[in-house]
Amino acid sequence: MEISKPKGLPYKFICRVYHEKGEKEMDFVQRKTADRAVDHFLKEAAEKEIPLVWDRYEGSLPQCGFCETGLNCRDCLQGPCISHPFKDQNKVGICGKDKDILGVHSFVRLVVQGAMGYLDQLADFAKGVETREGSPKHKQEAVKIIKDIQSMLRDGDTDVMKKFPKALIDGWKATGIYPDGVANALFKVSQKLDGGIGDVEETLLWAFKGALMGCAAQMLQGRLKAAVLGDTAPTSVEVNLGVLPKDTPVILLYGHFSPLLKQKIADAAKGKKIKVMGVCTDPFIPPYIFVPVTNYGSQEIPLMTGAVDLIVTGDQCVNPSLAELAKIWKTEVVPTEVLNRGDLSSFAKEIVEKAQEAFKDRSEVSRDIPNVKESGVMGFSTKNIDGKKVVEAIQGGKIKGIAILAGCNNVKFTQDQEIVSLARELLKKDVFCISEGCASVSLAKLGLLNPKQRDANCGKGLSSLLSSLGKNIPAVVDLGSCENSGVTDFLLSMASVGKKQFKEFPIVACFPEANRTKAVARAAWTVAMGIPTYFWPYLPVTGSPKTVEALGKFCEEKFGAKLHVITQKMEYKEKVDLLVKALER
């Protein structure tokens, strides 16, 4: 496939797809984004030759086929090595890794990095609590959770994992994937990449063990947040670039870093007429709300408005490109993941002072804020969504089942289009949709989190269920940030009410525009729970037939669910048909 930029159309790609045998070719135009606020800036970027994520994607083409199929290896200094995807060949690396080992190692590598992302967030937060950087609202509960975290890291003995159905836990233990401490669950699985003797299926199970460690970390993060900062509640917010103010200093929080630091930044900004907002970060840090300005795929665009005076960045979900782009608009950049950061209170005050100075110094920078924003209600939880009513709606035939919509954006797809299109079709077919993180921001930008638009988007059965759940329930229910475990907690409440395992409910998970390694870990533990999971774009394992087969047939035998690896190009309605069919199993 070749991709080029058509003249006069900076907001689109021309994709040229060649037939396998070369006798046909077909051009089609793919929009870069479904977000008209982002569209507003693409022509300007093209005219001024400002490189954005889409330009860098074009520059990377054609992408390496060995990397794309998982048939490359750099796990030692003798390589790099590759294998071949051809059925009749199995070239081995210098150490003897064949294409099947390379393929499963590609999956392991993604899962380990993703699980470590959740553990990193939790460790940073817990350290801040232990060193008294914050004052917990519920001190005894916070102390208990800190002990639970320490136990999880040591030997895996944690109360949160005991909340899963007993039959599921017994199955995990019988298979050997129940997480039993960071050393066994993550250190050991990471060393599978170094070598050793192990077949695809055994290695794959180690990956699922590591993923469940990430699941435990996400659950503990959510519980620690509630204990330290207090509970969140469903909140009406406005999202997209139109929320940026013109005449006020703006601090944007990018990515994932300590909730305590976020709170202290907001504390320091209080009373100073400074707006603190967010991109790819948890918007609800009680008592503050960091309104989502945009989501992952368009994280560079807020800088182009000229309205951002200072950005505070973590490492996770943050593009390194921001540092250079910020210079164009004289925007201050403050990284949080640095050595010798000092205490959080002093650091937060320093950030706010820099934002005030930056606002004064940038007075000549013009501000171009598109009048594009959408209302939505975000931040639901098991405390305000009655799982019993959802179970009864399934049993009574009002709804076909539940779809979990997760992941962020991937430049290989039109930004937001896949997830929004899938959600709209599922809603029409009476599928109860829940979402989290950047997926929720995509849906909010296009109105699917606006309760006023609910009935226009939903089938009759689903509309009836949503009405029974409350007055301000939108078509898609956002269960919070991907930093926390809102989706898992909701599934646990259903299992408790319905007295069933997850695999006995009509539930399907979908990552329509997946990007980050944490999404791979998230998909892996969802499959381990017994929930069929669809992941786009396809994972870099397709060069290994045994790995693809194991993610399907073997996982179904062990967990009752597949991680579907789909390589063929599909329209969104075809994808919806797959998801609905999965609910009928």
- What's residue 22's pLDDT? 42
Q: Which residues have CB under 8 Å from 170's CB, separation 6+? A: none
Strand partners, 401: 431
The answer, yes or no, to whether the previous bond of 283 is cis (omega within 30 of 0) is: no
3-class SS shares of the chain: helix, strand, coil, % to 5: 45, 15, 40
- What's residue 362's pLDDT? 95
208: tokens are 């699922």
Which spans in 529-571 are helix H?
Answer: 545-549, 555-559
What are the chain's domains?
2-63 (no CATH), 241-361 (3.40.50.2030), 376-583 (3.40.50.2030)
How many Å apart are CA 475 and CA 452, to the nearest integer? Answer: 9
How many Å apart are CA 214 and CA 185, to the nearest integer? Answer: 10
> Residue 169 — φ and ψ, nearest 5°?
-60, -45
- What's residue 342's pLDDT? 85
How many Å apart are CA 221 and CA 154, to the nearest integer? Answer: 17
pTM: 0.93
For residue 255, which amino acid is it? G
Which spans in 542-585 are helix H?
Answer: 545-549, 555-559, 572-583
> Residue 17 — φ and ψ, nearest 5°?
-110, 125
CA atoms within 13 A on the CB side of 287: 3
- What's residue 29's pLDDT? 64
Kindly give the confidence (pLDDT) of every residue in the chain, 585 residues in length, as a single tens digit, with 9 standing for 90 and above: 444 444 444 555 544 443 333 444 444 568 999 999 999 999 999 999 999 999 999 999 899 889 999 999 999 999 899 998 776 778 889 999 999 999 999 999 999 999 999 999 999 999 999 999 988 999 999 999 999 999 999 988 899 999 999 999 999 999 999 999 998 889 999 999 998 888 999 999 999 999 999 999 999 999 999 999 999 999 999 999 999 999 999 999 999 999 999 999 999 999 999 999 999 999 999 999 999 999 999 999 999 999 999 999 999 999 999 999 999 999 999 999 988 888 999 999 999 999 999 999 999 999 999 999 999 999 999 999 999 999 999 999 999 999 999 999 999 999 999 999 999 999 999 999 999 999 999 999 999 999 999 999 999 999 999 999 998 999 999 999 999 999 999 999 999 999 999 999 999 999 999 999 999 999 999 999 999 999 999 999 999 999 999 999 999 999 999 999 999 999 999 999 999 999 997
- What's residue 12's pLDDT? 56
- What is the bridge-based pairing of β-strands 25-31 and 12-18? antiparallel
